[in-house]
Amino acid sequence: MLREPILEFDPNLGLCHLTLAFDRGSIADPPKKEGATLLLLRLMRRCHPDMTSDELEATWDRLGASLSVDVTRRVAALHLTVLSRHLAAAAKLLSEVLQPSNWSSSEFERLKQEALDDWLESLDDDATVARRAFSRAFFRGHAYERLSGGDSVSLGSVTLEDLRLVHGQIVAQDRAHLALSGTFPKRLDDVLSRLSEQLSPLARDCPLPEDHVLAPGRRIHFVTKPERTQAQIIIGCPGTRASDEDMVDLHIGHTAFGGTFGARLSEEVRVKRGWSYGAYSHLPVDRTRQPFWCDAAAGIDDAAPCLQLMLELLEGLVARGLSSAELAATKRYLKNSHPFSLDTAAKRAGSRIEQALHGHLPPKDYLERLEAASRDSVNDALGRRLSSRDVVITVLGSEGRLLEALEAREEPLEIEAFKRD
């Protein structure tokens, strides 16, 4: 049986969100077949035992339903949003696509081609290209170096057999978490039993990797792309994981550093100097250790000094931490803004599913730890967890003055030419 679903009711919406999430994602991709899990979920979305793909798409529309898929390394999820009056029919339809029936080769080939086309189009987005390059550089040699979306080579090599293998590792009751939010009937037995029946009880083994150990030292990874007026800059080091005792302390530190418009990074890079439209830091929390990183997009002529400034700010954060005033202001902000993470049924359901999948703290525990955090505990966490010495720096920009400036720096420099495939 499916585990107890997460339910958050709102009588006034007229629509309902249903999330079916599995606690394995692209980590299940076979070797050299990156993107397989993404293709799996997209194929499931299109194939029905009794309808063609075109008929199925039209049926979703008739129900006023939108079904999207979302794959990260750790999670593969189907998100259904539907007009409440059609929930039962949409949930039945969803249950009917969960098993690999009617997976036609022709539909699969079409899907692969569309995925390849999408991947090509994504190369237009500099921020996306830079983030991918950073992720690959940061996780070099680790299982997470493989990207969830795949690339032009891996996507083309995925087979239907690969998808069946991945399906067996992911789509099962013991991996599944179900959440409903919005306006839905009191009795959900039919909805739940249909979904449960379509899932195998147990998934095949899909172990999670150990935490990544970053190679010591700083290095710069420069992706050259022609005709850029701006450079994307990302600087990252190892961050946190959900089970770290000091996770909330680190979260406070990150927020003060780059989590808001008024934080240090934005103040120095944007407000004082106008060097970037935005400058922020990020601290994702998951069951395995994720990177902490900060990013900005500076005009080509400002990119080298902007990079230097960001590194100095990171050094200062690690060495000296937060002031008392910063700590007080950040704690106040996090406490006062916390209601917004829970002010709708969808957000409450989302929070509970994050707890289940990623080990996030329940709100009560989070607020208690937030209250208890001191300047010492926060600064200890910053000094212990973050590093300004062992960092990966990714820059995407054009050759010329920027490349000369990067070559003049002491860090080892690796250059990758942007390719259009």
Partner 1 sequence: MVNSDAPLHGRLTFVRSLAFGEGAYIDEYRMANGLEILLLQDASAPVIAFHTWFRVGSRHERPGKTGLAHLFEHLMFNEIEGLPPGAFDVKMEAAGADNNASTWLDFTQYQETFPKRHLAMVVELEARRMRSLVVRQPQLDCEKEVVKNERRLRVEDDVEGLADELLYKTAFLRHPYGWPTIGWMEDIEAFDLKDTERFYKQYYAPNNASLVVVGDLDQRRTLSLLSRHYGSMAASELPLERTEPEPPQTEERRARIELTTTTFKLLLGYPAPALGDADHVVATLLVELMTGGNASRLHRGLVRRRRVASEVTGFVGPHLHPGLIEFSIAVRPGLSEEAALSAFDEELQTLLNDAASEDELTRAKNRLELSIRSGLETVDGKASTIGFHQCLLRRPGGSLERLEQLALVDRADLLRVARRYLRVAARSVVTVVPRRFDESRNPATKAV
What one-character-per-residue DSSP string does 108-123 give? HHHHHHHHHHHHHHHT
| Residue 213 touching partner 1 (CB under 8 A) | no
First-to-last alpha carbon distance for the chain, in angstroms, is 44
From candidates 37, 81, 288, 394, binder to partner 1 by CB under 8 A: 81
From 92-100, 240-248, 283-291, 342-350, give the range in contact with partner 1 by CB under 8 A: 342-350
| Residue 124 touching partner 1 (CB under 8 A) | yes
**Which CB atom, from 151 or from 418, has the smaller least distance to partner 1?**
418
| Residue 270 touching partner 1 (CB under 8 A) | yes
**Which CB atom, from 82 or from 180, has the smaller least distance to partner 1?**
82
What is the size of the binding site for partner 1 (CB under 8 A)? 78
From candidates 106, 324, 340, 364, binder to partner 1 by CB under 8 A: 340
Query: Minimum CB separation from partner 1 for residue 52, in Å?
Result: 11
| Residue 333 touching partner 1 (CB under 8 A) | yes
From 153-161, 163-171, 264-272, 351-359, give the range in contact with partner 1 by CB under 8 A: 264-272
**Which CB atom, from 255 or from 377, has the smaller least distance to partner 1?**
255
| Residue 63 touching partner 1 (CB under 8 A) | yes
Residues 83 to 102 in contact with partner 1, rule: CB under 8 A: 83
CA 409 to chain centre: 32
**Which CB atom, from 338 or from 409, has the smaller least distance to partner 1?**
338
Asked whether the beta carbons of 395 and 223 are under 8 A apart, the reply is: yes
| Residue 58 touching partner 1 (CB under 8 A) | yes
Smallest CA-to-CA distance from 290 within 322, 243, 252 is with 243
Q: How far is CA 2 from CA 19, 34, 52, 82, 231, in A?
A: 13, 29, 29, 21, 47
| Residue 79 touching partner 1 (CB under 8 A) | no
What backbone phi and psi angles, to 5 degrees, belong to 50?
Answer: -120, 5
**29 contacts: CB under 8 Å, gap ≥ 6:** 35, 36, 37, 146, 150, 154, 166
From candidates 141, 185, 262, 305, binder to partner 1 by CB under 8 A: 262
| Residue 19 touching partner 1 (CB under 8 A) | no
Smallest CA-to-CA distance from 77 within 124, 122, 45, 106 is with 45
Task: Name the strand (E) or helix (H) holding 311.
Answer: helix 300-320
Smallest CA-to-CA distance from 330 within 266, 245, 240, 253 is with 253
- Tell me the CB-side half-sphere exposure of residue 25, using CA atoms within 13 A: 24
From candidates 224, 287, 388, 405, binder to partner 1 by CB under 8 A: 224
| Residue 297 touching partner 1 (CB under 8 A) | yes
Task: Name the strand (E) or helix (H) holding 169.
Answer: helix 160-170
| Residue 109 touching partner 1 (CB under 8 A) | no
**17 contacts: CB under 8 Å, gap ≥ 6:** 79, 80, 81, 179, 180, 181, 182, 345, 346, 349
| Residue 272 touching partner 1 (CB under 8 A) | yes
From candidates 50, 54, 189, 245, binder to partner 1 by CB under 8 A: 54
